[in-house]
Amino acid sequence: MRKNVFGRRFKRDTNQRKALFKSLLSSLVLKERIKTTEAKAKAVKRDADKIITKAKEKGKDAKRLLSSYLFPNAIDKLMEKIAPRFAKRQGGYTRIVRLGKRVSDNAEMVLMEWTENKIENSELKIQNSKEKKDRKMQTKDTKRRQTKKSPNKTELKKEAKKTKSKNKK
């Protein structure tokens, strides 16, 4: 029976588990999306909701509490940039998107991200990547046009025979 037992262990002792969650949460705050297993994402989701709610309060006591969940550089970003996005929202701060199974061990992989993402930045990145691809294709085309085609072995042999036949005459 599972009475009064909560959370997931992940075959780690308490300190290792806390360190795992701290690094996953800090990565989520700093990168705004992480790719991890489904079990880890579900376990971290609970803490992610807690830290956003606490970060919305602002103040020294909130910062101290967040220091047990996050690294120092992640705390600043969370309080200054991410928490204000969720000012009107009361919960459901994260989204889990399934990506499929991992090849090596067949574990279900997911993408965990904030629900209030900055769409403008992602659209700009997509446009920039398309422009870079276009530039790459243009440079490849110009390089192909500029370089002369080097002769094959068979073409070299044919030219050698022609020069020999001309020399004999």
d(CA 157, CA 169): 19
Contact 109, 38 (CB under 8 A): yes
Q: What is the mean pLDDT of residues 101-108?
A: 93
Backbone angles phi, psi at 104, to 5 degrees: -65, -45
Which three-class secondary structure state does DSSP give residue 144?
helix
Q: What is the mean pLDDT of residues 99-122?
A: 85
Q: What is the mean pLDDT of residues 35-39?
A: 95
- Within 10 angstroms of residue 30's Cβ, the number of other Cβ atoms is 15
Q: What is the mean pLDDT of residues 154-162?
A: 79
Confidence (pTM): 0.66
